[in-house]
Amino acid sequence: MLTRPPMATAGDTSDRGDGSESALPRAFGRYLLMERLSQGGMGELFVARHGLSGFEKLVVIKKVLPDLVADEGFIRRFIDEAQVAVVLQHANIAQVFEVGRVGQEYFLAMEYVEGRDLRRTLDALHASGERMPTDAALYVAREVATGLSYAHRRTDSAGEPLKLVHCDVSPPNVMMSFEGETKVIDFGIASSVLRSGYSGEGGTDGESQGKGFGKYGYMAPEQIIKGRAIDHRTDLYALGVILFEMLTGERLYTPASQPDFRELARKVARGEHALPSDIDASLAEFDDLVRRALEPDPADRYQSAAEFRDALQHALVSLSPTYTQDQLGGYLRGVFAEEAARQRRVRDELEHTDIGEWAPELRTASPSTVSFALASLPEWVAAAESGRREDHATRIVDPASGPPAGRGSWALLGGVVGAAIAVLAVVLWSLVSGG
């Protein structure tokens, strides 16, 4: 069981960036942060539990980094686009449960996926001199394409296309669970960061957003060349790069210690890149899959994620018609045997920790939570939440409006209304009685 640390308050960031977990668990709004996972180019990640008693589901809290929070334009885009991400509910997209703010810290509450991202998986395979099995590579690419197809075709309540584009489909943003699920993460925040021009350092693999080689290595020509239009086919280019990397075990554009970004941009714009058969002749049958996805002109690529998915499905069936997520999960558990076992133990410990011990801090921290968007909750959770309104439960606000009115303002308004009703009653009584 977890031991109780010294009392921490909502918004306490004493453990940010130093890798220390001495201040955990601690309250963060209505969530209890339990374990620090990592810090990447866009935010700091924690495993957390919902503060609602009986709601045992683990979530991942992604706290947006201070450098990004300081950019008001980014925050506006982040809130707008993350609200759209909340409505994306698909097996191949990691669910965003909440978009909100605790104090001055903005956050996403996301689905907890027990597994590893594709970047870490490919790096582990490369270090051991292996590469991903071809059928596994095709399967993962197909699942990503399926998730993108769903997101790209989403419409609003009026039936108008939302025109969603992820803008950062890359190995760190593809999660694979130890049960074989494949999920795209960071819908919403990725495109917000990209358009803000933020160039902070990336995650543990050294990739960065905006200026770093890793992200440029997955960008389509229209993302690199100023003035080009970005649409859903931009994501398909990135998926083509990922497919090449999974099939060959090599990066499409080999990073250097001091990469020449101008030269890289020229190569991408001209379509100068290797094909799978250039790395391994036995992969020649997949050259066309990669070639078409990486066409410099979007009009020459697959025109939809569904079209790319169907091509991947045809290739997978031809190679291994019975491949399923069961095989992928078994493969990943083999690659990360020790880590998978440890993660299961940690998950069990976190899920069975009695959070009642932190109830006072959670009650104190809850009023500091402002929610801009919430995913649909199960009925029993929604009912329990409504019963906590008198305990200063999370405030839900329209991001376009000002700060929510405080309890004192409502009390004043209630007093004025009450007085008006009393005066009206006296007047009516007087009229009826002839007075």
> Which active-site residues does the annotation give?
168
**Gyration radius from the chain CA atoms:** 25
Greatest Cα pair distance, the chain, in angstroms, is 104
* DSSP string computed for 366-393: GGGEEEEEEPPPPHHHHHHHHTTGGGTP
Neighbours of 417 (CB within 10 A): 10
- Using CA atoms, how far apart are residues 277 and 427, in angstroms rounded to an integer? 91
Amino acid at 416: V
Separation between Cα atoms, residue 46 and residue 109, nearest integer Å: 10
**Which whole-number Å values give the CA distances from 382 to 55, 58, 395, 426, in the listed order?**
11, 17, 14, 42
How far is 167 from 193, CA to CA, in rounded Å? 9
Instruction: Kindly state the tokens that stand for 261.
Output: 């970004």
Q: Is the dihedral of CA 177, 16, 74, 229 positive or negative?
A: negative
> Please, which residues have CB within 8 angstroms of residue 259's CB and are 6 or more apart in sequence?
213
Count the residues in the chain.
435
**CA nearest to 131, candidates 140, 121, 139, 141:** 121
Q: How far apart are CA 254 and CA 156, in angstroms?
A: 40
- Identify whether the C-beta of residue 114 lies closer than 8 Å to the C-beta of residue 271: no
120 contacts: CB under 8 Å, gap ≥ 6? 205
The DSSP bridge pattern shows strands 43-50 and 31-39 to be antiparallel
Residue 110 in contact with residue 96, Cβ under 8 Å? yes
